[in-house]
Structure 1
Amino acid sequence: MQLNSNLIRAAFSGALGGLLFGFDTVVISGAIDAVVRLYSLDPQQKGFTVAIGLVGTVIGALGAGQAGQQFGTRETLRITALLYIISALGCGLAWGWPSFLVFRFVGGLGIGASSVLGPVYIAELSPAKWRGRLVAIFQFNVAFGIMLAYISNYAIRTMHLGGAEWRWQVGIATAPAVVFLALLFGIPRSPRWLVSRGRNDEAWVVLQLIGDPDPEAELADIREALVQEHVTTHERVFQWKYRYPLFLAISIGAFNQLAGINTILYYLNNIFAAAGFSQISSDQQAVAVGVTFFVFTIVGMSLIDKLGRKTLLLIGAAGCAGCLGGVAWVFATRSHPGALLWLLVVFIVFFSLSQGTVIWVYIGEVFPTAVRAKGQGVGSASHWFMNAIIAQLFPVIVSMMSTTTPFVFFAVMTAVQFLVVLLMYPETKNQTLEQLQRKLMRA
């Protein structure tokens, strides 16, 4: 099956939520200090201001699977787009710390839901040959959104807008959110979801639309997989037969955050400031990190279906552990602060080549159709739950102990991940979702 324009358009539209995911995830890094000063927040309140959005992501991720299974991923993605719009406008116009927290939470709901539904939608449209690279478009957009957020923060900082500066930084995401919502009205439903609802004729039309050379054979394969699972919209994901997919999804989601990636992105300006960089210089270094994340996510996308998911995860875990250990050394010895930027850039290279590219592809592959959206929700919730805990504790630990401590922890966790992936993770490249279902359910 060759790529056609309809499939590419659907994949890019479904993945645009990733851009908003990435943008909203890190834009707070440039605004948080202004919010802290404006509302006189202590370290615990600062951590909570970041973490409240992540509480929303956990709830959004857990609820999105059920909603996607019931109403379809396309329709539920439209709701996430509305949540992004409400959050961006609300944060930009917030009239106090409580209102800012509420709109951060709403944005978290959208991020959590889109982190589940975007990859699921793309995976269920994509042929096995292209699935890894097409689902990785979601992570490409996450990386692009991260880069845009850092560039936006820096550009707005240079405009010297005074007290309104942080409002522009968080409110500007309204524009891409509106574009995302509009594009979602020009893409088809998931053929696998349509078959699960008995709408086979519509599924056949969608398969033909996206360029499947033999829609009848693909329909038969989908129906067989659904029959084997006795699929219903009420199928529970927390069952013994799904123990292996659950382990894979929960562990990859947790390890993704135990590497410290999102916490580093949230507090990047503070990390550079702790090493002696000025505010403008910190913004410039953050842009360098964002550009690196974006460029090497593209490289990872080109490798994911060639080297495979497991190989990339192993390379990334080893490299990340070394770089994080180096960052801990810089802060512990208070020497060579100039090395900090290079260590973080190389860390981002290893992370974006591996975990950053693989996570959403892998979680979307390991569950059968009957519970794929729900399973993606569990894996995503694991990711966001761990993220919320670490984001809340990071400023507290730094203020009570040192900047060294969390980086030692992150380095140890990535070393543990290397061993877990080596011993327990299967390779999933070049296999249809139905083949993977049969393989993993036998494990």
Structure 2
Amino acid sequence: MARAEKAPGSHISLFNLALVLALTLGSITYGYTFSIVSTTLGQPGWYTYFDLASDETSPNYAYTKRIEGAMNGLFCAGGFFGCVFIGWSSNAMGRRKSLFVALPVAIIGGALQAGAAHIAMFLVGRFIGGIAVGILVTLVPLFQSEIAPPAVRGFLVSQHGVMMVLGYSLAAWTGFACYFSTNSEFQWRYPLAEQVLFPLALLGLTPWIPESPRWLIMKDRFDEAWVVLAKLHGIAGHEQDSREATFAREEFYQMRQQVAADKRLAAIEGASIATLFKKPSYRKRMFCAFMTMFGAESTAILVVYNYSVLLYQGLGFSNMISLMLAAFLAVEVALDALYTGVTENRNEAGLRAGVFFLFLYITCYGCCIDANTFVYCSEIFPSHFRSYGTAWSLSILFLSAMIYLEAAPTALATIGWRYFLIFIGLTFINIIIIWKTFPETKGLSLEEIGEVFGDEVAVHLTHLTAEEREALDRSIDAEKAGGQVQHLDVPAPDTECA
């Protein structure tokens, strides 16, 4: 039986995979930095050093709750400003140069937290760290989506979400290990210091990371864009008429034609941020991006990650217990309502059920939601608005998280499990809205996705018949023969592209 050929655009070169995985160091930075404070709240040395209350009988317990809320509120505020910055910088400076801005900021933020001499210094470090991860959590999936082949873009960009969960896990295990240290300051300082390792590693790799070919095309740097794209497809040294070389030329042609069409349209309709809210097809994208991130945060995931110790303590454990997404969340709230604070005749089976649903919830969220949200929001916007649209998406994440996290310490201390009823209701509503209104983008190139939102596509590349693909290749040959584009030959194996 003949072996079935892979769909065009499904090949992943070693260089492309390595580049995507290198960028996920920024994803780990986000996950680790965001959730490390959940372990800080479980370290007695942190409370002692800053003269904070670790139990509700202390006279400054209310002040401690405000500090716990502020450390996450300031982090989210910093994340929002980071999103605003990257929306501008990734267009003006490029995707690659924006990494050089974000990574030193992340290192400085982590160093301030780990070396904090007083609580104000700690909070400033959280704000600066928030700015850095706001940039990274927007830039990484945007960058990944622009370098991934269309047929496997979902798989590659979803690594951003996977590695974020890895960051959450590393933070949890690091905090747990340091809890047993006899040095009370090491208990909380080392986990905070560890967050600088990941941006430091990515900073070391950044000189070898090439610029996004789509950004280069937007800046009319076509020769550079072709060299990068050819290396991403792994076609250096291949025959000119090889299958991958042909697809690389087709993708390059599609990118150029779509960018040219978008520029003509922008000259007529405008290319300001206001255009995103005026044009119906762009407005629908903005709505989908809003609902994606608002819906994800309304599952209470960051309340779980960031106040995990407080939740576990409420159930009588030494660490966290969380809530479940939708129906899982409803079960968890029921268990929480039944067993939180019970010290006499405790139902051990009920407590174990709570732990089970915790892990079930985290598994479902990490595998099914965390990865998909970033894939969707980074691919639905056209090239000239992708940085603004992705920044808008992630700013909603931070604004939603800021509201939920700022309120959480006080809410958990006063109304307890009832706080989670809000998330149950919101999650069910959001599921219905997303199911009814979101278009599917699977298998389409970034340039073709505009069609499902009502925009015109200059050139179709995926899902073509043999006759349509032959016509496309004739158009590419005619353009090259006419001298409209140069250097579409397969590059030599040693071609530089960084």
Measured against the shorter chain, the TM-score band is 0.7 to 0.9
CA distance in 1, matches of 2:306, 2:192: 13
Gaps of 5+ in 1: 290-318
- 1:72-151 matches, within 5 Å, as 72-151=94-173
Answer whether contact 2:27 2:140 (CA < 8 A) is retained: yes
Answer whether contact 2:31 2:166 (CA < 8 A) is retained: yes
Q: Which residue of 1 aligns with 2:258?
A: 225
CA distance in 1, matches of 2:198, 2:67: 29
CA distance in 2, matches of 1:36, 1:78: 35
Q: Decide which moves more: 109-118 or 225-234.
A: 225-234
Answer whether contact 1:30 1:153 (CA < 8 A) is retained: yes
Q: Which residue of 2 aligns with 1:254?
A: 294
Q: Which residue of 2 aligns with 1:384?
A: 398
Q: Which residue of 1 aligns with 2:442?
A: 429
Question: 3-state DSSP class of the match of 1:337?
Answer: helix
The answer to whether structure 1 residue 321 and structure 2 residue 321 are counterparts is no
CA distance in 1, matches of 2:83, 2:74: 14
TM-score by length of 1: 0.88
Q: Which residue of 2 aligns with 1:174?
A: 196
State the 1:213 CA deviation.
2.5
State the 1:80 CA deviation.
1.3
State the 1:228 CA deviation.
2.3
State the 1:45 CA deviation.
2.3
Work out the percentage of aligned pairs sharing the same amino acid: 22
State the 1:239 CA deviation.
3.1
State the 1:258 CA deviation.
0.7
Question: 3-state DSSP class of the match of 1:3?
Answer: coil
Q: Which residue of 1 aligns with 2:476?
A: none
CA distance in 2, matches of 1:150, 1:213: 45
Answer whether contact 2:162 2:367 (CA < 8 A) is retained: no
CA distance in 1, matches of 2:374, 2:132: 16
Answer whether contact 2:12 2:149 (CA < 8 A) is retained: no
Answer whether contact 2:439 2:452 (CA < 8 A) is retained: no
Give the aligned residue type for 1:326: V
* Higher CA-based Rg: 2
CA distance in 2, matches of 1:400, 1:425: 37
- 1:306-385 matches, within 5 Å, as 320-334=325-339, 336-385=350-399
Q: Which residue of 2 aligns with 1:213?
A: 245
Q: Which residue of 1 aligns with 2:480?
A: none
State the 1:234 CA deviation.
5.5
Q: Which residue of 2 aligns with 1:12?
A: 21
CA distance in 1, matches of 2:390, 2:431: 22
Give the aligned residue type for 1:109: I
Answer whether contact 1:64 1:113 (CA < 8 A) is retained: yes
| Aligned pairs, number | 407
Cα root mean square deviation, aligned? 2.0
CA distance in 1, matches of 2:394, 2:431: 20
Residues 247-280 of structure 1, C-alpha deviation per residue, up to 9 Å, x if partnerless? 01111111111100011100111111110012xx
CA distance in 2, matches of 1:372, 1:161: 48
Residues 272-296 of structure 1, C-alpha deviation per residue, up to 9 Å, x if partnerless? 1110012xxx2xx68xx9xxxxxxx
State the 1:85 CA deviation.
0.8
Answer whether contact 1:55 1:105 (CA < 8 A) is retained: yes
Gaps of 5+ in 2: 1-8, 53-62, 234-243, 340-346, 457-498
Give the aligned residue type for 2:171: A
CA distance in 2, matches of 1:268, 1:436: 39
Residues 214-252 of structure 1, C-alpha deviation per residue, up to 9 Å, x if partnerless? 343222211222122225896425332210110011111
State the 1:321 CA deviation.
0.7
Answer whether contact 1:39 1:97 (CA < 8 A) is retained: no
Give the aligned residue type for 1:224: Q
State the 1:158 CA deviation.
2.0
TM-score by length of 2: 0.78
State the 1:36 CA deviation.
4.4
Answer whether contact 2:29 2:199 (CA < 8 A) is retained: yes
Kindly tell me: are residues 381 and 39 of structure 1, through their superposed partners in 2, closer, same or farther at Cα, counting changes over 3 Å?
farther
1 or 2 for the larger relative contact order (CA 8 Å, sep ≥6)? 1
The answer to whether structure 1 residue 152 and structure 2 residue 174 are counterparts is yes
CA distance in 1, matches of 2:199, 2:23: 12
